[in-house]
Amino acid sequence: MGEESKRPNQQGEEYLVPVERYMAAAVRLGARVSNGYLQRRGFIFTVRPDGLRIFNLKRIDERIRIAAKMIARYNPSRVMVHSTKPYASRPIQMFCKFVGCLPVTGRLIPGTLTNPYLSHHIDIDLLMVADPKTDFQAINEASLTGIPVIALVDTDSDITFIDFAIPCNNKGRNSLALIFWLLARQVLRERGELKPDEDLPVSWEEFRVPVGQSQ
């Protein structure tokens, strides 16, 4: 068994990592606003006295597993992973390094996904983004071309044009690193490139943007 020893949840099922790891990375910490869709789907567990929404950890874990299965079905060279968020830059680069997807961080040039006559045009089959709020340009272009979208969503995220949502803290440095590390590991397990109990050769901390680094 890899170093990520699992701990059962209240239903006796195993999480992808110990609950303490999820908690320490603040993966389940949401915003003070939530949309009805996430509430109805059981993604939000509770509301703290200060108004912050807390995600249902079991649902986060489940959605990471499902997203990994989805990504594993695609040719990785035709999967684009994008975000303009500084804290998502290294997690995305590291995820793509292990999985083989196309990393596109920073501002997306208009027409990248919609105009085949542009020199920077990219033809893809699947898009994954770190935040619908900041990555709306890519999401809008994907919707116009029929490209399915996987997105990390916070409690206040607009899920318009999102085909599959992973509820989580998509703003935190630690949370983004852990989520992308887990996704990379699970995709490789689904593809048979890692054994079911095997870990990546690097820790999740290696996916984290260094302190003080903006990009």
pLDDT of 35 higher than 70: yes
Question: Where does residue 114 rank: exposed (0-12), middle (13-18), buried (19+ CB within 10 A)?
Answer: middle
Nearest Cα to 159, choosing from 27, 33, 38?
38
Averaged pLDDT, 18-47? 86
Question: Which residue matches tokens 């996704």?
Answer: 183
Residue-range domain boundaries for the chain: 19-207
Nearest Cα to 151, choosing from 51, 205, 81?
81
Confidence of residue 6 (pLDDT cuts 50, 70, 90): very low
Averaged pLDDT, 18-31? 94
Fold annotation for 19-207: Rossmann fold (3.40.50)
Rounded to two decimals, what is the model's pTM?
A: 0.91
SS3 182: helix
Mean of per-residue pLDDT scores for the chain:
91
pLDDT of 78 higher than 50: yes
Task: Check residues 212 and 13 and name the one with the higher pLDDT.
Answer: 212
